[in-house]
């Protein structure tokens, strides 16, 4: 299918493409960075937000890469959007891991000092054990990537969860949301009021080959200058939250924030935090996924 046809198809799934900043007065949160918009500074702050949004790595459908394994697939059009959304989140992890990401237009708001229900539970004991096993006992702690898989309703996200979803973007550890609608995955990196700003993988672009002979590579197609947003309530309720904790202090800060968020959720927590599995009669729900990061490099590879 042509790129234009793909775009029209995905617009029907995700809804009409909404671009720009929907409100000029409400603050915006972009992966833990706050953009406080006032009437006197609206244009400067909006410009800073747009610049930061375009700095994220965009992964889209690609065509022209080497056939996958024994197949004839040289493009991921129509089936690769979930993989691309995941690649965008992992690209953000690497940016945080190697150089940090603070944003240009805002300041991180640090200092904040649950209820359990059926929400997933993050067990600190499990994270500590995973870090020790990963480092083979050489160090007590490593950088940690957390995924929290959620189902927040039936056909769409239950409105009672929206305030908590919005609040996760105030966490300095936030990596956003992997979500969208059935058949159309996106990477949501920011929020304003009840809307989510997202990177869309559904454009079809030519693969970029990188090797020792092609060091001067045009990477402009891996960034997006068009700001798109979607009402959070219209998302498919099956989604995943991502968080990156650089070190032990960062993880401890995340646990404090997550515990407070669960306590403020009016009985509808996204997830909760516990120190260990020894929780008496309450039992243990599904734990979130823990991944420790590592450094791996290859000399020659393709930007698929």
Domain presence at residue 161? yes
On whether the CB atoms of residues 32 and 56 are closer than 8 A, the answer is: no
Comparing C-alpha atoms, which of 96, 209, 210 is closest to residue 145?
96
> Annotated catalytic sites, by residue?
81, 200, 202
Total domains, the chain:
1
Q: Where are the beta strands (DSSP E) in the chain?
A: 18-19, 28-30, 33-35, 61-63, 107-108, 121-123, 144-151, 174-181, 184-192, 195-199, 204-206, 208-210, 228-231, 238-245, 272-274, 289-292, 301-303
Domain presence at residue 192? yes
**pLDDT tens per residue across all 304 residues of the chain:** 555 655 555 565 566 667 777 766 678 898 888 888 766 666 778 888 888 888 888 988 888 888 888 888 898 888 888 888 888 888 888 887 766 666 644 333 327 222 333 578 899 999 999 999 888 888 888 999 999 999 998 888 999 999 999 999 999 999 999 998 887 899 999 999 999 999 999 888 888 887 777 777 888 888 998 999 999 999 999 999 999 999 999 999 999 999 999 999 988 999 999 998 765 434 334 445 555 554 443 444 444 4
Residues 6+ positions from 209 with CB-CB distance below 8 Å: 302, 303
Domain presence at residue 285? no
Domain presence at residue 63? yes
On whether the CB atoms of residues 240 and 150 are closer than 8 A, the answer is: yes
What range defines the domain where residue 48 resides? 3-113+151-246+298-303
Domain presence at residue 231? yes
Expressed in angstroms, the distance from the first to the final Cα of the chain is 18
Domain presence at residue 15? yes
DSSP label at 179? E
Domain presence at residue 290? no
Domain presence at residue 120? no
Which tokens is 282 given?
């309450």
On whether the CB atoms of residues 207 and 75 are closer than 8 A, the answer is: no
Q: Where are the beta strands (DSSP E) in 114-171?
A: 121-123, 144-151
């Amino acid at each position: 299918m042509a790129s234009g046809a793909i775009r029209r198809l995905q617009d029907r799934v995700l809804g009409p493409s909404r671009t720009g900043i929907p409100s000029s007065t409400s603050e915006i949160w972009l992966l833990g960075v706050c953009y406080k918009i006032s009437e006197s500074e609206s244009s400067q702050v909006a410009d800073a937000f747009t610049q930061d949004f375009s700095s994220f790595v965009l992964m889209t459908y690609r065509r022209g890469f080497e056939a996958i394994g024994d197949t004839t697939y040289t493009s991921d059009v129509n089936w690769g959007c979930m993989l691309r959304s995941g690649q965008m989140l992992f690209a953000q992890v690497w940016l945080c891991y190697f150089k940090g990401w603070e944003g240009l237009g805002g300041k991180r708001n640090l200092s904040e000092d649950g209820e359990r229900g059926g929400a997933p539970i993050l067990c600190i004991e499990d994270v500590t054990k995973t870090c020790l096993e990963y480092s083979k006992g050489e160090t007590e702690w490593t950088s940690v990537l957390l995924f929290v898989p959620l189902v927040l309703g039936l056909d769409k996200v239950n409105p009672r969860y929206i305030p908590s979803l919005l609040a996760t973007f105030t966490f300095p550890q936030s990596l956003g949301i992997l979500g969208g609608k059935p058949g159309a995955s996106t990477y949501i990196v920011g929020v304003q009021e009840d809307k989510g700003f997202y990177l869309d993988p559904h454009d079809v672009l030519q693969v970029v080959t990188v090797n020792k002979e092609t060091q001067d590579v045009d990477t402009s197609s891996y960034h997006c200058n068009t700001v798109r947003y979607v009402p959070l309530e219209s998302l498919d309720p099956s989604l995943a939250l991502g968080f990156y904790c650089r070190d032990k202090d960062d993880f401890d800060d995340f646990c404090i924030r997550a515990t407070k968020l669960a306590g403020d959720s009016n009985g509808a927590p996204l997830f909760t935090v516990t120190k260990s599995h020894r929780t008496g009669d309450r039992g243990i729900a599904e734990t979130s996924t823990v991944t420790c990061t590592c450094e791996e490099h290859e000399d020659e590879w393709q930007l698929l």
